[in-house]
């Protein structure tokens, strides 16, 4: 029996999380046994509203004692005016750091039925399958010194980009290992022509490649060029590995190539406990209206089964069910386009369609 820590989060988080957990129950139904126990806790803005902090010590202890963490989106305009130290997003940074989650992997693939939802032309996006590995616990989000202070009488904001050789080595190794299971190609993204921290990034990635993964093709690319190439010719990419800041930006760009940020899951790995979450935000404007797309959360459950519990068959059941539902023409509002055989559905109905597709495929 595996223990799951569930943080439903803010905004649409609880709605999409409910559908992800229901799909997990369907996987147990297919297996004919209970495999997971769940325990929930508040995180982010909802935690601040009750406890005055975005994450309590008890919530952190729950995550550390679990076998995996499922996370909904956190944050929203309601909490934007809070002091920086207690904003909802600080809970995410603390989770990543305390759990040792140094690698965030985000797949960006285009489902055939959603090609027309992409803002790019069909010939550019058809068949793309990109995996972005974002280094997660180093770089400018964690570097010191940081903050806003008066320097020589001028209000000054400071953030510091820092990377050490071990941090870069472990991210590079995971990227090369991922590529060996895919199409054997890694693009390392940096700004080595301007930033010394990423000059070291390029040097270390090259050394890890030469010493340990010479069978994998390695290409170095400057981040501004990568941002352009993702639009110009996304099919050139297999695995992209990059820094915390660059990865944060590029994965949102890659998500829109697929048609909607509501479609993309993610896995944060590297420590004993993996964390799984959709990459979209809390969307407070549609919270409670049953409009949110639950597929990114459902696909995050599939990633959890694959990476934390070595259940690739069960993960494939979910992936296949999502594709069948999309092929059947079912769409939430964010991916809906008028057309024959296309039906708009809400959050709960989309989850029900996926669960039914799983059951149908096993009969």
Instruction: Report the chain's C-alpha Rg in angstroms.
Output: 20
Identified catalytic residue from 191, 306, 324, 353 = 191
Distance CA 263, CA 332 (A): 10
Identified catalytic residue from 224, 235, 285, 310 = 224
- Residue 299 CB coordination number (10 Å): 24
Identified catalytic residue from 3, 67, 78, 252 = 252
Identified catalytic residue from 67, 78, 248, 344 = 248
Sign of the CA dihedral 321, 322, 323, 325? positive
User: Catalytic site residue 306?
Assistant: no
Sign of the CA dihedral 275, 279, 283, 287? negative
Contacts of 318 (CB under 8 A, 6+ apart): 23, 27, 298, 299, 301, 302, 305, 354, 358
Identified catalytic residue from 10, 48, 111, 141 = 141
What is the DSSP secondary-structure string of 239-265? EEEE-HHHHHHHHHHHHHHTT-GGG-E
Contacts of 92 (CB under 8 A, 6+ apart): 44, 71, 74
Distance CA 8, CA 71 (A): 6
Least Cα distance to 250 among 274, 222, 291 occurs for 222
User: Catalytic site residue 163?
Assistant: no
Element (H, E) at 349: helix 347-361
- Residue 351 CB coordination number (10 Å): 25
What is the DSSP secondary-structure string of 29-40? HHHTS--EEEEE
User: Catalytic site residue 116?
Assistant: no
User: Catalytic site residue 129?
Assistant: no
Distance CA 126, CA 304 (A): 26
User: Catalytic site residue 248?
Assistant: yes
Catalytic residues: 141, 191, 224, 248, 252
């Amino acid at each position: 029996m595996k223990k799951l820590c569930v943080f439903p989060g803010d905004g649409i988080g609880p709605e999409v999380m409910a559908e992800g957990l229901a799909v997990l129950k369907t996987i147990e139904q297919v297996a004919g046994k209970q495999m997971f126990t769940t325990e929930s806790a508040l995180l982010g803005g909802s935690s601040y509203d009750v406890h005055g902090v975005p994450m309590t010590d008890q919530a952190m202890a729950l995550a550390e004692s679990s076998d995996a963490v499922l996370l909904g989106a956190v944050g929203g305009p309601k909490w934007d005016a809070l002091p920086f130290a207690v904003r909802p997003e600080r809970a995410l940074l603390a989770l990543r750091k305390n759990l040792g989650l140094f690698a965030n992997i985000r797949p960006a693939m285009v489902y055939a039925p959603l090609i027309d939802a992409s803002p790019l032309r069909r010939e550019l996006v058809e068949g793309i399958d990109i995996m972005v590995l974002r280094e997660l616990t180093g770089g400018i989000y964690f570097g010191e010194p940081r903050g806003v202070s008066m320097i020589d009488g001028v209000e000054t904001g400071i953030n510091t980009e820092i990377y050490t050789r071990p941090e870069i080595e472990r991210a590079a190794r995971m990227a090369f290992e991922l590529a060996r299971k895919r199409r054997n190609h890694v693009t390392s993204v940096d700004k080595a022509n301007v930033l010394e921290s990423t000059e070291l990034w390029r040097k270390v990635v090259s050394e890890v490649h030469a010493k340990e993964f010479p069978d994998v093709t390695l290409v170095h690319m400057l981040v501004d060029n990568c941002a352009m190439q993702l639009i110009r010719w996304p099919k050139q990419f297999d695995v992209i590995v990059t820094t915390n800041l660059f990865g944060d930006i590029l994965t949102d760009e890659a998500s829109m190539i697929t048609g909607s940020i509501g479609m993309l899951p993610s896995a944060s790995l590297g420590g004993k406990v993996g964390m799984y979450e959709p990459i979209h935000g809390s969307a407070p404007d549609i919270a409670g209206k049953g409009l949110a797309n639950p597929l990114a959360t459902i696909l995050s459950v599939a990633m959890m089964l694959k990476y934390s519990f070595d259940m690739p068959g069960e993960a494939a059941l979910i992936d296949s069910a999502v594709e069948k539902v999309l092929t059947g023409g079912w769409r939430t509002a964010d991916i809906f386009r008028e057309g024959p055989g296309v039906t708009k559905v809400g959050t709960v109905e989309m989850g029900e369609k996926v669960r039914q597709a799983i059951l149908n495929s096993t009969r």
